């Protein structure tokens, strides 16, 4: 599969490596692709490009840009290039100040919903935003297995993403329904920060007991 990751930070690179290990053809799309020389030398000359190139040529897209800038990332990539495609949204929109971060859009909206409105023709699936980048694939939790959630409007897209999460080592994936559930998932990220930072436990993850 041609997987195109919109973003170039640690999350984008970590997921890029894991999709590559899964056998996919991966490109990271950045506003400044010249800054991806290290990634390019590691992964191949065609593994980095602009956001527009990534959005246009991907079969599966992953939004891993800064969470408060997903709409500008869509504009940079060209909204029409997202039409009809599954778009995994792994972002959070924190606002940093003193103490624990808050969410840019509170509890009446979410980054996932704003992303879906920006790309009405795409199938946005919110997931993987509730763990650290190093735990997104093959999570190592001594008291696991950890639980991962998906949220989105398209059932087939969620099923496809659930399959990918299975390949990434998530044995327990729970569907929370429509994209509005991104509000709770993004709030879970803040809860994660409240625990993980003071405890210096950055490998922490959530587990739903039933």
Low-confidence ranges of the chain (pLDDT < 70): none
Q: In the 8-state DSSP scheme, what is residue 26?
A: E
Q: How far is residue 55 from each of residues 18, 120, 149, 150, 197, measured CA to CA in Å? A: 19, 15, 25, 22, 34
Provide the CATH topology of domain 2-199.
Answer: Rossmann fold (3.40.50)
Q: What gap in Å lies between CA 42 and CA 143, rounded to an integer?
A: 34
Beta strands in 31-139 (DSSP E): 48-50, 60-63, 86-89, 94-95, 102-103, 123-126
Residues contacting 85, CB < 8 A, separation 6+: 58, 59, 60, 61, 122, 123
Predicted local confidence at residue 97, as pLDDT = 81
Predicted local confidence at residue 92, as pLDDT = 96
Spans of all domains in the chain: 2-199
**CA dihedral angle for residue 117, residue 177, residue 136, residue 141, rounded to 10 degrees:** 150
Token pair recorded at residue 208: 């739903």
- Residue 123's SS3 state is strand
Predicted local confidence at residue 177, as pLDDT = 98
**Cα angle 78-73-136, degrees, rounded to a multiple of 5:** 120
Q: What gap in Å lies between CA 169 and CA 106, rounded to an integer?
A: 31
Predicted local confidence at residue 210, as pLDDT = 87
Q: Where are the alpha helices (DSSP H) in the chain?
A: 10-21, 37-43, 51-57, 70-77, 111-118, 155-167, 182-199
* Pair 55, 61: CB distance under 8 Å: yes
Predicted local confidence at residue 142, as pLDDT = 87
């Amino acid at each position: 599969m041609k997987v195109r990751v919109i973003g170039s930070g640690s999350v984008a690179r970590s997921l890029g490596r894991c999709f590559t290990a899964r056998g996919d053809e991966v490109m990271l799309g950045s506003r400044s692709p010249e800054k991806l020389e290290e990634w390019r030398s590691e992964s191949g000359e065609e593994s980095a490009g602009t956001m527009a190139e990534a959005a246009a040529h991907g079969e599966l897209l992953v939004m891993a840009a800064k969470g408060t800038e997903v709409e500008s990332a869509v504009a940079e990539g060209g909204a029409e290039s997202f039409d009809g495609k599954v778009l995994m949204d792994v972002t959070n929109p924190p606002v940093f100040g003193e103490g624990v971060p808050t969410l840019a859009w509170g509890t009446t909206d979410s980054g996932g919903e704003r992303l879906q409105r920006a790309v009405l023709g795409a199938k946005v699936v919110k997931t993987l935003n509730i763990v650290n980048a190093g735990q997104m694939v093959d999570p190592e939790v001594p008291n696991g297995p950890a639980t991962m959630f998906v949220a989105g409007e398209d059932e087939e897209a969620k099923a496809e993403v659930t399959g990918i999460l299975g390949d990434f080592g998530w044995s327990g994936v729970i569907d929370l329904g429509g994209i509005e559930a991104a509000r709770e998932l993004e709030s879970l990220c803040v809860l994660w920060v409240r625990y993980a930072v003071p405890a210096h436990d950055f490998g922490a993850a959530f587990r739903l007991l039933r």
